[in-house]
Amino acid sequence: MERKKFLLAVVAVSSAFGLLFQGCIEKKSRISLSDIYSVKTDTTVYLTEEENSPTCKISIDFNCIKTANPDDSIVNSINTKLMNCVSEGEPASLSPDAFVKNIVSGYINDYKNSLSELYEEDKHNIKNPDELPGWYNYEYDIDTEIGISLENILNYDVTIFHNTGGAHPNTFLKWINIDTNTGEILTKQDVFVAGKDNEICQLILQKLIDETNTRMETDDMHTAEDLQEYGILLNSELYIPDYFRIGDDGITFLYNRYDIAPYSMGDFQLTVPYTEIKPYINEETINLQ
């Protein structure tokens, strides 16, 4: 009888440890960096058939997740979100290769449809070909990068560069974070405790002040008013941006050109370590233990 009770106790403890072990396994990412699949293309399109025709250069490096099972709903969900991050509105059913071909085709059509007629008019009116505007040469570049942080969060960084004849080229960054166990994007509403925007913004503000002091090679800035002397935060108060990266050591907040500062200042990527921001993190979403 005592032996039977002992065996039952062993079974119960073993089951408990099994469940605990299984729980630990489930917290780990079901995706690793070895699962990355990359689709690359470098294309040059000529506006006309002439020898000295203007060109449109297109370079794309699209990273996504490969899987041996085409019916893997989690991976399919993740890849759809990665595609939408690069280019919204594309059909969700597209394969990664077809997705990139669609983007290239769209760029080519836009280039030719918007410039062909205007270019012909300029050629007719400008006798010297060397005087034709250089802005007929376009360039598009999309670069993507995947990382894994905190074991189960996929970080996706997208850099989009357009040089389309404006006053200057434009670079725009997009960041998203995806729970690899669910395939869902983690938004700022998911990650941060509700009602704590002011406290979080105060932490970000200090990083913004530090970064601006570094860039300007000074230590004279201490307040938001000091930043305004350099054109920062002139048109808006500081806010929690939609684009941020959940890292292993902290959260990095992304502000693109023009978001909080003039174009000449570039973008700002401001990291607040978990030692400071942890009280404002939703622990049901991100486990920092």
Total Cβ atoms within 10 A of residue 45? 17
Q: What is the pTM of this model?
A: 0.87
98 with 213, same domain: the answer is no
Same domain, 111 and 228: no
| Full domain range(s) for residue 153 | 33-186
Domain boundary among 129, 158, 186: 186
CA distance 15 to 10: 8
Tell me how many domains the chain contains: 2
Query: According to the model, what pLDDT value does residue 3 have?
Result: 46
The last residue of a domain, from among 164, 186, 208: 186
Q: Is 144 a member of any domain? A: yes
- pLDDT, tens digit, 9 for 90 and up, residues 232-274: 999 889 999 999 999 999 999 999 999 999 999 999 999 999 9
The whole-number average pLDDT for the span 11-18 is: 42
Within a domain: 4 = no
198 occurs within a structural domain: yes
Range with the poorest average pLDDT among 11-20, 82-91, 204-213: 11-20
Instruction: Provide the token pair at 240.
Output: 């929690």
Q: Is 240 helix (H, G, I), strand (E, B) or coil?
A: coil
For the chain, what is the mean pLDDT? Answer: 88
Helix (H, G, I), strand (E, B) or coil at 168: coil
Task: Identify the DSSP state of 192.
Answer: B
For the residues 138-152, what does the mean pLDDT come to? 96
Q: Is pLDDT at 1 greater than 80 in this prediction?
A: no
Q: How many residues comprise the chain?
A: 289
3 state SS of 244: strand
